[in-house]
Amino acid sequence: MNQLFINNQWVDAKDGVTYSLINPATEEEIANISNGNQEDCNVAVEAAHAAFQAWGKTTPYQRAAILKKAADYMRANLDVFAKDMVVESGKPLAEAKGEWTVAANLFEWYAEEAKRSYGKTIPTNRPDKRSSVIWQPMGVIGVITAWNFPAYNPARAWAAALAAGCTIVAKPSENTPLSAFHLAEALMKSGLPEGVVNVIVGDAAAIGEAMLQNPLLKKISFTGSTRVGKILMDGASKTYTKLSLELGGNAPVLIFDDVDVDALAKVTSIARFRNNGQVCIAPQRFYIHKNIYQQFCDTVTKHVSQLKVGNGFEEGVHVGPLITKKQKESVEKLLEETRQENANILTGGHTPENMQKGYFLQPAVVADLQQSSVLAKQEIFGPVLPLFSFEDLEDAIVKANDTEYGLAAYVFTNNLKTAIHASERLEFGIIGINEWAPHGTESPFGGWKQSGQGHESGSEGMYEYMEKKLISIGGL
Ligand code: ADP
């Protein structure tokens, strides 16, 4: 099952090339994976286009039955699937199991939502005219996803697109193809007709370009960096391929001085380092009210220095390796730049002792940062917790909004007025008030500014893959 998945068959790349998939915790080879390119992509698009002719005409009830079965298959195979996710991504086993549970929930939820794509009728100003609006599936969708959530990222788009009646050519990250292969397996075992979902990995730029160039492919749903999002926007400006983009983030966290500082500092140490900080909605810029700044710094540092770093299979591990050597080096470079800014690294930031193999980095806390710091400007995507301070609500809002990103923001306060004013003035698509998990299967997930366009999850997620059609009948 290390090959491309086209027309419900596991096949080699046309040119027979493979690449070596590496376990980030051990740097050992996990498997040889077929390395697809544009030719394979075009074969997959043609398969998806042929499949759409029938799949697009199925009733939502027929589609729902398959999606629900696939959700059950994922739950039944959760242990095996989660182990493969740990091997390819490095994340702790408990996080991998949680992610597969959410992936299954997405398929079940969209199985139900498929039946609710209601249209509407519109009263007209002429007695001999009737207007109505219906929703129809777009056709073949390209789904390009990042490695940080190897099952959740593709599941979110696949489940919504399949519920809408679309067919799919998916390109998961080369770093984490195994989870996407398991998703395909779950769907195939649940009766998905051939060609409805196809999975290719390999030369990302070539496959992305082939998706843009192929007129049979109607839309690309992309989860990844703002950098690649812009490449796709450039390409789409020539081909008019539609795009949904879920891009980078740089989430501020506003902590006011009426909170239980010690309790919040403790949960912060877990929330910030979930998936090693490699999360687009990861809380990144911590703005702490000046009255509690020192206390918060001391307590959070104590908890972060106690986090257990190690192989995701080890009991009690909080933080696994980073995904690649390159990712580790990019976080180390940011830390080096903050040293030059004279920031204070209170703990971590180095390779843990006796962990020379694997891309491990000791979780870091950095204090006394200025708004001009590189840690305020750039998305870190790694185990670093930067601490800034603020004077009052006004100061906090200005600093929080001072970014090109607009995905998620967090506010911690027991003052209702502060919570409401802050949530309404923050320029972000997702706001968590007194919580770290503001997203949900049933809720719209999308970014403002350079964090993206369009929405995933919730009913909005399904309409991303449908076209609205006005039907007007005259001469009645
Ligand atoms: P991340 O750094 O989070 O992996 P990327 O944006 O680099 O974010 O990758 C997200 C997805 O985009 C991956 O599946 C990757 O292979 C793919 N990708 C990378 N470069 C391109 C490109 N030029 N065109 C299309 N997809 C690309």
Q: Work out the pLDDT band at 89, boundaries 50, 70, 90.
A: very high
Secondary structure class of 306 (helix, strand, coil): coil
Distance from residue 268's CA to the centre of ligand 1 (Å) = 29
Question: What is the Cα 358 distance to its own chain's centre?
Answer: 24
Q: Work out the pLDDT band at 467, boundaries 50, 70, 90.
A: very high
Q: Taking the CB of residue 168, how many other CB atoms lie within 10 A of it?
A: 28
Closest of 29, 44, 42, 35 to residue 13, by C-alpha = 35
- Enumerate the CATH 3.40.605.10 domain ranges in the chain, comma separated: 4-247+451-473
Closest of 219, 211, 202, 215 to residue 5, by C-alpha = 202
- Enumerate the CATH 3.40.309.10 domain ranges in the chain, comma separated: 251-440
Residue 465's identity, in one-letter code, is Y
Q: Which residues pair with 142 in a beta bridge?
A: 169, 220
Alpha carbon distance 24, 132 (integer Å): 54
* pLDDT of 430: 98
Which of 179, 228, 230, 451 most suits a substitution to test ligand 1, by most atoms within 8 Å of the C-beta?
228
Q: Flag whether pLDDT at 139 surpasses 90.
A: yes
Q: Which tens digit of pLDDT belongs to each residue from 380-431?
A: 999 999 999 999 999 999 999 999 999 999 999 999 999 999 999 999 999 9
* pLDDT of 445: 97
Tell me the percentage of the chain whose pLDDT exceeds 70: 100
Alpha carbon distance 414, 258 (integer Å): 6
CATH topology for the 251-440 domain: Aldehyde Dehydrogenase; Chain A, domain 2 (3.40.309)
Q: Flag whether pLDDT at 451 surpasses 90.
A: yes
Query: pTM to 2 decimals?
Result: 0.98
* pLDDT of 375: 97
* pLDDT of 79: 98
Closest of 222, 140, 217 to residue 173, by C-alpha = 222
The 10 Å CB-count burial string (b at 16+, else e) for 429-457 is: bbbbbeebebbebeebbbbebbbbbbbbb
Distance from residue 250's CA to the centre of ligand 1 (Å) = 18
Alpha carbon distance 383, 305 (integer Å): 12
Say which residues have a Cβ less than 8 Å from residue 437's Cβ, sequence separation at least 6: none
* pLDDT of 309: 98
Q: Which tens digit of pLDDT belongs to each residue from 353-370?
A: 999 999 999 999 999 999
Q: Would you say domain 4-247+451-473 falls under CATH 3.40.50.10490?
A: no
Distance from residue 124's CA to the centre of ligand 1 (Å) = 47
Q: Flag whether pLDDT at 1 surpasses 80.
A: no
CB 445 within 8 A of CB 457: yes
Active-site position among 46, 88, 166, 280: 280
Closest of 392, 146, 469, 172 to residue 278, by C-alpha = 146
* pLDDT of 342: 92
Ligand 1 proximal residues by C-beta, below 6 Å: 144-147, 171, 173-174, 204-205, 208, 224-225, 228, 231
Q: Which tens digit of pLDDT belongs to each residue from 173-210?
A: 999 999 999 999 999 999 999 999 999 999 999 999 99
* pLDDT of 233: 98
Q: Which tens digit of pLDDT belongs to each residue from 252-297?
A: 999 999 999 999 999 999 999 999 999 999 999 999 999 999 999 9
Q: What is the mean pLDDT of the chain?
A: 98
Which of 143, 147, 173 most suits a substitution to test ligand 1, by most atoms within 8 Å of the C-beta?
173
Q: Identify each DSSP E strand in 318-458 by its residue range.
A: 344-347, 364-367, 384-390, 405-406, 408-412, 430-433, 448-449, 452-453
Q: Work out the pLDDT band at 221, boundaries 50, 70, 90.
A: very high
CB 235 within 8 A of CB 209: yes
Residue with tokens 């989870």: 179
* pLDDT of 146: 98
Concerning whether 280 is annotated as a catalytic residue, the answer is: yes
Tell me the percentage of the chain whose pLDDT exceeds 90: 100
What mean pLDDT comes out for the span 163-173?
98
DSSP per position, 118-164: --EEE--SSTT-EEEEEEEE-SEEEEE--SSSTTHHHHHHHHHHHHH
CB 388 within 8 A of CB 371: yes
* pLDDT of 443: 97
Distance from residue 35's CA to the centre of ligand 1 (Å) = 15
* pLDDT of 20: 98
Nearest-CA residue for atom 2 of ligand 1: 225
Concerning whether 246 is annotated as a catalytic residue, the answer is: yes
